Amino acid sequence: MKIITPSSEEDFLLYYELRWKILRKPWNQPLGSERDNLDNTGYHVMVCENDRIPIGIGRLHFNNTHEAQIRYMAVDEEYQGKGVGTLVINALEKYAKDQGAHYIMLNARENAVPFYQKNGYNIQEKSYLLFDDIQHFKMKKLLKNLSGKSYILTFFCRFFINNKNIM
């Protein structure tokens, strides 16, 4: 298996086809519903076997300089549970770190929460209900450990916020 970024028109057609097949088709959503206005600026990866046909995909975009977000993770049903999703998420996390992100947010479908937890993500809160059927949970993973002065400042701020009655 190899991890690549889609580069040609054909790569992107196959990429979006898998995204639609896994994330939209089972809920009778039309072709095109698998895309959004951040696709043109997002970072995309796909896992392929020996060809350029994707078996796993994902996109990362930045909400601000420190917060990246993963969206549209999908693995072909035949390859689920075989490490393909972890390859996708690792590639997206590496890119986010290289670009200076401190953490990654995502909204996981309820059935995918255990996968993300295995990969170090923590539930922040219950999120939205997609297609009146699919519960999502907001999840977060820290990418950088705070060190030095930043850590001390953060520690004291949290301490005083949590113990505001001690003064």
In angstroms, rounded to a whole number, what is the distance separating the alpha carbons of residues 17 and 141? 28
In this predicted structure, what is the pLDDT of residue 121? 96
pLDDT digits (tens, 9 = 90+) for 96-136: 999 999 999 999 988 889 999 999 999 998 987 777 777 88
User: Within a 13 Å sphere around the CA of 118, how many CA atoms are in the beta-carbon half?
Assistant: 11
What does the DSSP 8-state code read for residue 30? P
Q: Which residues of the chain have pLDDT under 50?
A: 146-152, 154-155, 157, 159, 166-167
In this predicted structure, what is the pLDDT of residue 84? 96
Range of the structural domain that residue 42 is part of: 2-166
In this predicted structure, what is the pLDDT of residue 146? 45
In this predicted structure, what is the pLDDT of residue 25? 95
Q: Which residues contact 17 (CB under 8 A, 6 or more apart)?
A: none
In this predicted structure, what is the pLDDT of residue 162? 53
The enclosing domain of 76 has a CATH number of 3.40.630.30
Number of domains into which the chain is organized: 1
Cβ-contact 88, 104 below 8 angstroms: no
pTM: 0.82
Cβ-contact 55, 48 below 8 angstroms: yes
